Amino acid sequence: MVATNERIGFIGLGLMGHGMAKNIVEKGFPLTVLAHRRRTAVDDLAARGAGEAVSAKALAEQSTIIFLCVTSSQEVEALVRGPDGLAVGARSGTIIVDCSTADPGSTLALAAELAPRGITFVDAPLSRTPKEAWEGTLDTMVGCDEVTFARLKPVLDTWAGRVVHIGRTGDGHKMKLLNNFISLGYAALYAEALALGRKVGITPQQFDSVLRGSRMDCGFYQTFMRYALEGDREAHRFTLRNAHKDTRYVAAMADAAGLANPLGNAVKNSFALAVAAGRGDDYVPMLADIVADLNGIAPASVAS
């Protein structure tokens, strides 16, 4: 056990959160997680030494630093503001860290509500995949003051290989939306390019033989193409529904800033189309199959 007075709470044991929480407890921090009907992650963490709370309020009463890794700002707000929520149980000096991809407006509102009670709200959204979450090598961009960052850093280091203190509260979520605008924009471009290639007689293999190793290559391209070329459904485990949510947040941020963002809206509509087609629970690289199907051609993942 590390020498620390911090007691960590963790809510959201999904694809990313399970690995993050595993690294926190394995690297010596006392950990309490929130009970959930899906017991696999909770039981695994309990076997590693974590405790379990029956409500967000109870978890807050036992924790000095609380991490949230849930889907959206709506869920974060419910966890904080609910009648049995974090704000009810947290004491002055508690830090709540939102690792979700969230609406910066919501983030700033929660921070303003909690500050008079001595509770600090921090945004530390994530980059990379569940594989890196399990390995403890995620990227995170953190929005908070310097004193809070110094207190958080040893815990962040348990599950992140790259920790960037990007700026003030809210700046982490703003930067994450910019990051996802670019990465999900890549996905929309790749999906359409693969479909167009099929239409004009260029296979995914030929496409890849030119882009791989070129200036257009990157880690996101490689995981996307691992599905397109090999049919590996686990290559990039981020749902089309979550992608649509993130692109909606990008559009809202642009609207609030008074920015015309035609490319952002085009990317958003690519994912809206996928969700409207009933494919929201599929993963982002499968957008290539949806675009192919809409154009009456073979899915990229089975094209030869």
Residues marked active site are found at 176
* The residue to which tokens 């529904």 are assigned: 241
Distance CA 145, CA 239 (A): 32
Distance CA 301, CA 225 (A): 9
Give Cα separations from 46 to 43, 53, 62, 84, 116 (angstroms): 5, 11, 16, 23, 34
Distance CA 281, CA 12 (A): 18
Residue at 277: amino acid letter: A
Bridge partner residues of 11 (DSSP): 68
- The answer for residues whose C-beta is within 8 angstroms of residue 204's C-beta and 6 or more apart is 194, 197, 198, 225, 228, 229, 300, 303
Inter-residue long-range contacts of 73-79, CB under 8 Å, 24+ positions, other chains counted: 73/100, 73/102, 73/103, 73/106, 73/107, 73/249, 75/100, 76/100, 76/102, 76/106, 76/110, 77/106, 77/110, 79/11
Distance CA 150, CA 153 (A): 5
